[in-house]
Structure 1
Amino acid sequence: MEYDENDFLMLSGIQHYAFCPRQWALIHIEQQWEENYFTIDGMIMHENAHNQEKTEKRKNLLITRGMPIFSRTLGIRGVCDVVEFHRNEQGVTLQNYAGLYLPVPVEYKRGKPKTHDADELQLCAQAMCLEEMLLCEIPKGYLYYGEPKKRQEVMFDEELRQKVIASFTKMHELFDKQYTPRVKQTKACRSCSMADVCLPGLNKTVSVERYLEKAMKEGE
């Protein structure tokens, strides 16, 4: 199956979806957005990563910034912070450059590595787009975190790739139905930029039985 360009979702949305499907839907379906310190700090870091939308050559390495990417198979489009093209016999040909080069996506993130895999999923999705566009295989990429100021290697194994596919499949289903999932309140809600829009504390459901039981106890 291939998606029409008019049905493409934003690639970066997989990070929101992995963190919280409701957050993703509020942003990408309902078109609501709230800023906080974390989102602003993250945007500044990405602006710095994209501030030179050109190719830079360093010996056997080519570096591109702000590279547009897409996948008709996944039905997504987005932009890579940085794509490094390493001289490699397993790579692909590039116009105006001799030899073969293997693309390696690098995504910039604020703060520290997370306990969930949202960043890894986003990076893997970028690699899968590049593979489809350039007809190659990309085994790994890197996440650069602002606080430790160093890279973390991410291997694109089959489990991670299948999770990317499953996530975008579900996201397309929700988007087509224009359905916003109900809240599942967690500790992460406290730092979520969408907390004032989502109002997780007001979305907790209480069964009639529990409500009546509580009301009776209060009346005793």
Structure 2
Amino acid sequence: MIHVEQQWADNIRTYEGDLLHRKADNPALRETRGKIIISRAMPLISRKLGITGTADVVEFHAAEEDDPPDCIASLTGRRGKWKPYPVEYKRGKPKVDDCDEVQLCAQAMCLEEMLGVKIGAGSLFYGQQERRQEVLFTEDLRCGVIDYLDEMRSCFNSGITPAGKYNKACKSCSLHNICLPKLRKGSVSRYMDSFLEGE
């Protein structure tokens, strides 16, 4: 709906998400905590995947002696070698599907191309739980990124928004009144009947 139909709406959940991201998305805030450099709102690009984006946070951990050479990178203006570790901030709690893991893995794949390294893991920080959940970037997850990108490009190029799949999460979505997921789920007459019965 956002990219094909150019539709957007805010609600309390999108505002809460904005507040959670406010610190993470400030590129002027750079921190060094011991052996970790924290970079915020880092621009990402992958020519191979054909995507761009912004990582909420990328931590650069000082490399250890036993780290594989293909997992560490040099940073401009910094001595030593560093291991990139992406962290994505989410307002709620872990989802039943893998969409958050796929997003984080796509960020890692961009970083790998940009820095010429291999990244094995990253983290999702869920605001509702106030803790991190580590994600391993397996081959299956990497294939999932490519599959999702292919599917998204197909939808975008067709100019047709895929039909929504109504579930209980739809009620809290900021696009609920634009998407009308119950209408997309069934026929117009069934939707109108249920609407009239509700009155």
Secondary structure at 2:154 match in 1: helix
Q: How does 1:51-200 map to 2 (within 5 A)?
A: 51-88=26-63, 89=67, 90-200=71-181
CA shift, 1:52, in A, is 4.8
Give deviations 1:47-96, integer Å, cap 9, x for gaps.
12123534322332111011000111221111111100011143111112
Secondary structure at 2:79 match in 1: strand
CA shift, 1:159, in A, is 0.9
Which ranges in structure 1 are unaligned for 5 or more consecutive residues? 1-25, 211-220
Secondary structure at 2:186 match in 1: coil
Match of 2:185 in 1: 204
Which ranges in structure 2 are unaligned for 5 or more consecutive residues? 191-199
Match of 1:216 in 2: none
CA shift, 1:163, in A, is 0.7
Aligned-partner Cα distance in 1 for 2:144–2:110? 15
Q: State, as a whole percentage, how many aligned pairs show the same letter.
A: 50
* TM-score (norm: length of structure 2): 0.85
Aligned-partner Cα distance in 1 for 2:7–2:40? 28
CA shift, 1:147, in A, is 2.0
Q: Which runs of 4+ in 1 moved over 4 A?
A: none
**Aligned pair partner of 2:3 in 28, 31, 38:** 28
Match of 2:193 in 1: none
Aligned-partner Cα distance in 1 for 2:48–2:79? 30
- Does structure 2 retain, via aligned residues, the 8 Å contact 1:61–1:85? yes
CA shift, 1:143, in A, is 0.8
Q: How does 1:13-52 map to 2 (within 5 A)?
A: 26-52=1-27
* TM-score (norm: length of structure 1): 0.78
Shift in alpha-carbon separation, 1:205–1:115, aligned structure 2, 3 A: closer
Aligned-partner Cα distance in 2 for 1:84–1:73? 23
Give deviations 1:155-175, integer Å, cap 9, x for gaps.
110111111110011111111
- Does structure 2 retain, via aligned residues, the 8 Å contact 1:80–1:126? yes
Q: For structure 1, which segment, 52-61 or 116-125, has the greater mean C-alpha deviation from structure 2 after superposition?
A: 52-61
- Does structure 2 retain, via aligned residues, the 8 Å contact 1:84–1:104? yes
Count of matched residue positions in the alignment of Structure 1 and Structure 2: 184
* Amino acid paired to 2:170: C
- Does structure 2 retain, via aligned residues, the 8 Å contact 1:53–1:67? no
